[in-house]
Every structure is written in C-alpha cells, then in structure tokens.
Amino acid sequence: MGRIEAIFADASLKKPAFIGFTVAGDPDKATCIRIARALIAGGTDILELGVPFSDPVADGPIIQKADERALAAGSTPDTVFEIVREIRKDSQVPIVFLTYYNIVHRRGIEKFYREAHDAGVDGILIADMPVEESEEVCAVASRCGIDPIFLITQTTSDERIKKIAAKARGYLYLVAVLGVTGVRDQVSDGAIDLLHRVRNHTHLPLALGFGISTPAHAQTCARAGADGIIVGSAIVKIVDRNLSDPGTMILELQDYVQGMKRV
C-alpha cells in the first residue's frame, strides 16, 4: 500500500484529509523547506508541491506570483527534487507534485518520473494533460510506483469522468469553482453537486480544491462527504505577506493548518 492510499485508508484519520499546497522554491529553497515542515507540523496529511512554471494556466494571481518568485530565485526541477529529499529526511508524509506537461516532456517522461520516485514523490498531477493523451505518462507512472492524479471540473461529462477514474490512482482532484485558483467566500453548490456526481462513478478518494480556505469551507466539504480538501492560495497568501519575516510566516502557517484541521 502506497503512502497516499494509506492516508485515506487510515480509520483514525479525521475526514476530510488536509492537502496543503505550496510552490516549491518559493520564496527560495531554504525557506520553502521550512514552509513544508511547518505545514507538516501543523497536521498536513498530504503535501502538494507546485513545480514552478512560467505559464501556470490553472492558477490565479496569488500562485502565479509564487511561481515567479521561485523562478527568480533560480528554482528548477533539480531544486524541486532536492526539496523533496530534504523533507524525506524527517517525514514520511505523502508528497504530490502539481506540474505542467511541458516541464515533464522537456526533462523526459521516464527520467522525470524516475527521479521523482527516487526523491520520494508519491503522486503527480499534470494540470494541462487531458486523459485522452495520458497513456504514456500513466504507463511510466505505474512502472515508477507513482499515482497519476487527475483534475475533474464541473463541466466534465459523466463519460469523461469514467475515463479519468479508470486511469487515476491515489485520489481525484475535484475543482470546486469555475475558473482558476484563488480564495473564495464559500463552497459553491456546483462543487457539492460535482462531488456527488463523481462519487457515482468511482470509489477513489475525492478531494475538493480551488477556493477552499476557511474552517467553514472544510466543514461544508466534510458534511458533503469529501475525503479531502486541497488548500493552496490561502497558504501562499500567508507566505506572500510575511516575506520579510520568515519566523512569523512559519508560525502562521502552522497555526493555519491546525485551525483547518479542527473542523
């Protein structure tokens, strides 16, 4: 049983599992490692690392700025693998990459996945890869023991949901809003409808992301039966507003995760 599967199979886990996102290398490698460790210390069940990219089309301005900071600091895929190896020195929390196909293709699919596995990565989500073009990637992921994770949106048809669920492992990432990442006021009825619709087609764990940021959001997701919640922009906002005070940043991140876990 892999680390992601073990998280959702853990009977003692208080649902929904908390999946915390940060951009690898933001604002620099050393601080990012401290951020990751603060998220884990706060109780993050699965750590999602964004691989910095110049054109992150799924992300709103908050995460785009984080990508820019990471790239300006010299972050590369090598940096991201180094960050994972540092985290693995003291934590076995599942780690998932959120990346874009261009990054994987340029490095070579087999090489990227093998290096990810060797560093300690458990799952990879390629945000701009449609399921219809995922055959090679999924085959490599299977050989490397890495869970291929896919996005499902509110506009995804039932037929495509079935295709995605047949390819996916680990969990399915359900996009709670129409649009890009960013903090929202509430969890939409459309997100809950999507959760129920996808549940009809798979037994994989379902995690809601995009716009989830408050304990009230987490409670709404929990009542609806979500297996996990994915929080990115709210975490990156804490990083952004404390760039000049890393000590406060780390304390706020840990406190934030603890608050989200108390639902």
User: Which of the four pLDDT bands, split at 50, 70 and 90, describes residue 262?
Assistant: confident
Active site residues: 48, 59
- Summarize pLDDT for 15-39 with one digit per residue, the tens: 899 999 999 999 999 999 999 999 9
- Summarize pLDDT for 91-134 with one digit per residue, the tens: 999 999 999 999 999 999 999 999 999 999 999 999 999 999 99
- Summarize pLDDT for 35-88 with one digit per residue, the tens: 999 999 999 999 999 999 998 887 889 999 999 999 999 999 999 999 999 999
149 and 170 Cβ atoms separated by less than 8 Å: yes
Angle between helices 233-241 and 61-72 (to 10 degrees): 60
Domain boundaries, the chain: 16-256
Fold of 16-256: TIM Barrel (3.20.20)
205 and 172 Cβ atoms separated by less than 8 Å: yes
